[in-house]
Amino acid sequence: MPLTNRLAAEFIGTLWLVLGGCGSAVLAAVFYGPDKYPLGIALVGVALAFGLTVLTMAYAIGHISGCHLNPAVSVGLWAGGRFPASDLIPYIIAQVLGGIAGAGIIYLIATGKPGFDLVASGFAANGFDAHSPGGYGMTAALVSEVVMTFFFLIVILGSTHKNTPAGFAPIAIGLCLTLIHLISIPVTNTSVNPARSTSQAIFVGGWALQQLWLFWLAPILGAAVAGFFHRWMASDHPA
């Protein structure tokens, strides 16, 4: 598949991930219907939304680009021997641009409601200390993001291994991302994806951009370690 086609798929896929996942957090997590009846999807709904974006796009564009949607995933697949280093930078650029486009759509929708305050809402940005949903500090955020991304890549690499039954990988990967969000939304709002973090931070600015370094460093570190570890663990050398 030509690189241009693959980059277009990564752009569209990452846009969908941010629009579906972060959009659910911004627009639907807390929502009240008539008579203040609670209709919001809350933490569980947001976690499920992120998982569904990956599951649906894996079937839609997996055959085109591999459906990375995430710079950390691309790095992890490279470390695992599944992705060429020459395509890393183009993929990451397409993913970040797609994420920004998705965040832009959320912004256009969210600001259509009178009184919407982007900064006060947090806009689903990732953060620690005072900007962690549960008040978790930098060390907790770093550990959470490294470990969650490590296991995300282990599931991705394992479920897409040549010796694994074909066709089920998107389900495993989508459910894994849902579980990751169920665990870590209270800690950092869950990143495990530098493109997703960058897209929201650009709109929030200030503290979100100042803390963005952690949401690039930790996911990429966790993904790279997982890639090298899985390459060793799942090697096809005879026993």
pTM of the model: 0.96
Give the span between the Cα atoms of 213 and 17, in whole angstroms.
Answer: 21
State pLDDT tens for residues 109-160.
Answer: 999 999 899 888 899 999 999 999 999 999 999 999 999 999 999 999 999 9
Q: Residue 116 has which token pair?
A: 């919407």
Assign domain 3-234 to its CATH architecture: Up-down Bundle (1.20)
What are phi and psi for residue 32, nearest 5 degrees? Answer: -120, 130
pLDDT in tens, 165-224: 888 999 999 999 999 999 999 999 999 999 999 999 999 999 999 999 999 999 999 999
Provide the residue ranges of all domains of the chain, joining segments of one domain with +: 3-234
Task: Give the pLDDT confidence score for residue 225 in this predicted structure.
Answer: 98
Candidates 1, 24, 73; CA nearest to 200 is: 24
What is the spatial distance between Cα 215 and Cα 198, in angstroms, rounded to a whole number?
Answer: 8
